[in-house]
């Protein structure tokens, strides 16, 4: 577009007349390693404390210091927590990306920038606010090292003024973020104040975006999905944890370690009621988990795609020897190292059938921190009930980003340890064999080393119902057929999908995991902007349950929304659905490494419905293709 476009200039002016309260996204572009995290979280938290629904997404490089990083805060009065495609307010601190960051803004956006970057000449349809950060921070601290740490806090002060964020809330958030470090609080406070004062004296507000106090966050928490899962493991009574550091799963185990050390030391002895091992690799991590699960512990590991690949062989052993194990896969972009710090839902197919031979595995798909918590607990119960590895399919967006959530409910039921043979059961069933299907549900009774019950030799090689080595064809068939039966039984135990059936809708949307947030918002867009009603089914587990076929039955077009290139979940559905249902499936795919956004879903659905008006919307240059790939039939 031409910078001299008069109509656009008018658009800016017109825009600024209206107040846009609690409905915008703000992006801070910095260099990683520059200590912007504190400033960003203080900003996020202060908006949250003002009662405004908020979410924070960190788009960071696979690097420790020196590469560009973006933190996006979305404040939204409706509670939309998915990524917003458009950036309404930019804080440009990174000289390397500043120009491109500015050029990708939509008309009407606003930009605070580091004065020497001289960005204001780039666009005249964007409101610019130059701030001399170096000059301001020099006045705050004579110490160069400290200056570097608090420089970013200045933009918090500027934004407080420009967006009407209460300085008292900023101070409260700062105290929360920095804890008891009084000296650090004082100097950061001075930086905040310096920013605010500068903005008050020098900047005249030309943009419409404001934060207005609401009452929509009372009682809620701010949390990352990995933390939710960690709390779930803690409450599930996990006893053995083995892990190997890998982004984006590391913080799950690291947070768990912190909580376990605090809440799981035996009161009387001061000793640990758990063992946590940082193993030599992901293979060993799962080996430890399987050894522990076999010997009666509740054991888990957390990893990402590359770790999943390494765990493939052991997963097959766990499936066939029937050993409980809980594996969190915090998915990231592949293949191979892929984009290690970007989000995806790309491990669906590889996990469904992980390992060789005939295997299939249980998967849970949490969408929120609350579900990460609840499903972590559920995963341990299911792993022991079905004596098999189970995968909790998270992703980077859920695991590492900051979400508003309801406080977690204390579990109201005891844990389920599944079919463990005891004297009474042995008496009842008489003749015990480790892999005998006594109850007809495919789930045998297990004994645990050291429990005094009959011993058996577990192995990945062929075995009969008594766990004796066998290469007989009938023994093999009996065994794998029983495993398939067990998987069928699991259909009645795994969490059912959440279905919102709209009787007026001929279009159904299916999603899972973090796509939920974009889908929910997209449904509102479709209804409000184009009068299209939709139904929605949110999958929560594999194997699928009967609700899926029924949902397909009730709609003409069924869009499966997922964050991968190859429509992996839809492919999994095709294996089970009837041809007439398969014919209704279409795909909305988002796989550029950024969290999926509502607009991409809406545009894609409209395009596939033949309603192309939305496609004229400009795609942001960071999403050239693939953000809304058209899949399906």
Rounded to the nearest 5°, which phi and psi values hold at 114?
-70, 120
CB of 12 to other proteins, least distance (A): 38
Q: In the stretch 477-506, what mask flags binding to other proteins with x, by CB under 8 A? A: ------------------------------
Nearer to other proteins, 38 or 587 (CB): 38
18 binds other proteins (CB under 8 A): no
How many residues can be counted in the chain?
A: 633
Cβ atoms of residues 515 and 345 within 8 Å: yes
The end-to-end CA distance of the chain, in Å, is: 35
Using the rule CB under 8 A, is 291 a contact of other proteins? yes
Residues 404-433 that bind other proteins (CB under 8 A): 407-408, 410-411, 414-415
Residue 379 or 567: the one with the smaller Cβ distance to other proteins is: 379
Under rule CB under 8 A, residue 449 binds other proteins: yes
| Contacts of 523 by beta carbon, 8 Å cutoff, 6+ apart | 509, 534, 536
Q: Which is nearer to other proteins, 146 or 185 (CB)?
A: 185
With CB under 8 A as the contact rule, the residue among 295, 480, 499, 501 that binds other proteins is 295
DSSP string across 404-415: EEPPPPPP-S--
Q: How many Cβ atoms are within 10 Å of 486's Cβ, its own excluded? A: 21
* Bond before 248 cis per omega within 30 degrees: yes
If one asks whether residue 459 binds other proteins (CB under 8 A), the answer comes out as yes
Assess 234 for contact with other proteins (CB under 8 A).
yes
For other proteins, which stretch binds (CB under 8 A), given 161-169, 268-276, 425-433, 593-601? 268-276
**Smallest distance, other proteins to C-beta of residue 410, A:** 4
CA-to-CA separations, 354 to 241, 311, 349, 393, 484, in angstroms, rounded = 21, 9, 8, 13, 15
The contact pattern for other proteins, residues 244-263, with x = CB under 8 A and - = no contact, is: ---------------x--xx
Phi, psi angles (nearest 5°) of residue 377: -65, -45
Q: How far is the CB of 219 from other proteins (least distance, A)?
A: 8
Residue 293 as a binder of other proteins (CB under 8 A): the answer is yes
* Residues contacting 374, CB < 8 A, separation 6+: 232, 366, 408
Q: In angstroms, rounded to a whole number, what is the distance separating the alpha carbons of residues 378 and 368?
A: 15
CB of 591 to other proteins, least distance (A): 31
137 DSSP 8-state letter:
H
448 binds other proteins (CB under 8 A): yes
* Residue from 214, 216, 458, 549 in contact with other proteins (CB under 8 A): 458
**Which of 107, 132, 237, 418 lies at the binding interface for other proteins (CB under 8 A)?**
237
To other proteins, the closest distance from the beta carbon of 625 in angstroms equals 38
- Decide if residue 107 touches other proteins (CB under 8 A): no
Rounded Cα gap, residues 615 and 467, in angstroms: 60
CB 514 within 8 A of CB 595: yes
- Among 104-112, 285-293, 499-507, 535-543, the segment contacting other proteins (CB under 8 A): 285-293
Q: Is 357 in the site for other proteins (CB under 8 A)?
A: no
Q: Which of 205, 283, 349, 571 binds other proteins (CB under 8 A)?
A: 283
Query: Nearest distance from residue 379's CB to other proteins, in Å?
Result: 15
Cα–Cα distance measured from residue 49 to residue 26, given in angstroms and rounded to the nearest whole number = 17
Of 485, 491, 487, residue with least CA distance to 438: 485
Question: Using the rule CB under 8 A, is 239 a contact of other proteins?
Answer: yes
- Between 70 and 408, name the residue whose CB sits nearer to other proteins: 408
Residue 189 has a CB neighbour count (10 Å cut-off) of: 20
Q: What is the distance, to the nearest Å, from the Cα of residue 143 to the centroid of all Cα atoms in its chain?
A: 39
- Binding to other proteins (CB under 8 A) within 182-201 occurs at none
Q: What is the DSSP letter of 497?
A: P
């Amino acid at each position: 577009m031409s910078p001299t476009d008069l109509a656009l200039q008018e658009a800016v002016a017109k825009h600024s007349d209206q107040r846009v309260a609690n409905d915008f996204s703000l992006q801070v572009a910095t260099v990683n390693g520059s200590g912007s995290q504190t400033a960003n979280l203080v900003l996020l938290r202060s908006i949250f404390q003002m009662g405004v629904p908020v979410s924070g997404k960190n788009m960071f490089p696979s690097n420790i210091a020196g590469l560009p990083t973006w933190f996006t805060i979305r404040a939204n009065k409706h509670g939309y927590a998915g990524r917003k495609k458009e950036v309404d307010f930019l804080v440009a601190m990174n000289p390397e990306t500043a120009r491109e960051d500015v050029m990708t803004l939509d008309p009407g956006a606003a930009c605070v920038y580091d004065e020497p970057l001289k960005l204001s000449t780039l666009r005249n349809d964007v409101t610019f606010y130059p701030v001399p950060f170096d000059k301001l921070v020099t006045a705050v601290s004579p110490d160069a090292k400290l200056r570097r740490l608090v420089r970013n806090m200045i933009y918090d002060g500027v934004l407080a003024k420009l967006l009407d964020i209460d300085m008292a809330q900023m101070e409260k958030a700062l105290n929360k973020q920095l804890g008891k470090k009084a000296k650090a609080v004082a100097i950061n406070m001075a930086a905040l104040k310096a920013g605010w004062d500068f903005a008050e004296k020098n900047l005249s507000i030309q943009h419409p975006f404001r934060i207005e106090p609401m009452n929509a966050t009372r009682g809620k928490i701010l949390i990352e999905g990995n933390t939710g899962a960690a709390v779930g493991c803690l409450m599930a009574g996990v006893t053995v944890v083995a892990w190997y550091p890998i982004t984006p799963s590391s913080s799950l185990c690291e947070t768990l370690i912190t909580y376990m050390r605090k809440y799981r030391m035996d009161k009387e002895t001061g000793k640990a009621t758990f063992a946590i091992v940082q193993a030599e690799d992901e293979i060993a991590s799962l080996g430890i988990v399987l050894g522990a699960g076999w010997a009666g512990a509740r054991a888990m590991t957390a990893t990402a795609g590359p770790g999943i690949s390494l765990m493939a062989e052991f997963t097959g052993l766990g499936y066939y020897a029937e050993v409980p194990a809980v594996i969190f896969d915090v998915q990231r972009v592949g293949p191979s190292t892929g984009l290690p710090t970007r989000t995806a839902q790309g491990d669906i197919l590889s996990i469904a059938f992980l390992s060789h031979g005939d295997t299939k595995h249980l998967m849970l798909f949490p969408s929120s921190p609350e579900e990460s918590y609840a499903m972590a607990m559920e995963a341990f119960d299911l792993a022991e009930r079905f004596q098999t590895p189970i995968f909790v399919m998270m992703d980077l967006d859920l695991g590492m980003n900051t979400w508003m959530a309801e406080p977690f409910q204390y579990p109201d039921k005891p844990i389920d340890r599944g079919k463990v043979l005891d004297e009474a059961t042995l008496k009842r069933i008489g003749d015990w064999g480790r892999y005998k299907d006594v109850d007809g549900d495919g789930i045998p009774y297990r004994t645990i080393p050291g429990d005094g019950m009959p011993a058996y030799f577990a192995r990945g090689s062929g075995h009969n119902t008594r766990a004796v080595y066998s290469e007989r064809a009938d023994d093999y068939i009996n065994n794998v057929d029983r495993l398939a039966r067990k998987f069928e039984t699991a259909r009645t135990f795994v969490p059912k999908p959440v279905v919102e059936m709209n009787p007026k809708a001929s279009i159904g949307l299916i999603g899972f995991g973090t796509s939920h947030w974009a889908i929910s918002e997209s449904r509102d867009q479709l209804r409000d902007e184009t009068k299209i009603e939709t139904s929605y089914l949110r999958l929560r587990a594999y194997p699928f349950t009967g609700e899926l076929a029924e949902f397909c039955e009730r709609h003409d077009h069924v869009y499966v929304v997922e964050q991968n290139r190859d429509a992996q979940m839809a492919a999994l559905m095709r294996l089970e659905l009837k041809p007439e249902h398969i014919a209704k499936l279409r795909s909305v795919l988002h796989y550029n490494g950024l969290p999926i956004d509502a607009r991409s879903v809406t545009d894609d659905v409209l395009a596939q419905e033949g309603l192309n008006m939305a496609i004229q919307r400009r795609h942001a240059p960071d999403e050239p293709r693939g953000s809304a790939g058209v899949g399906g039939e």
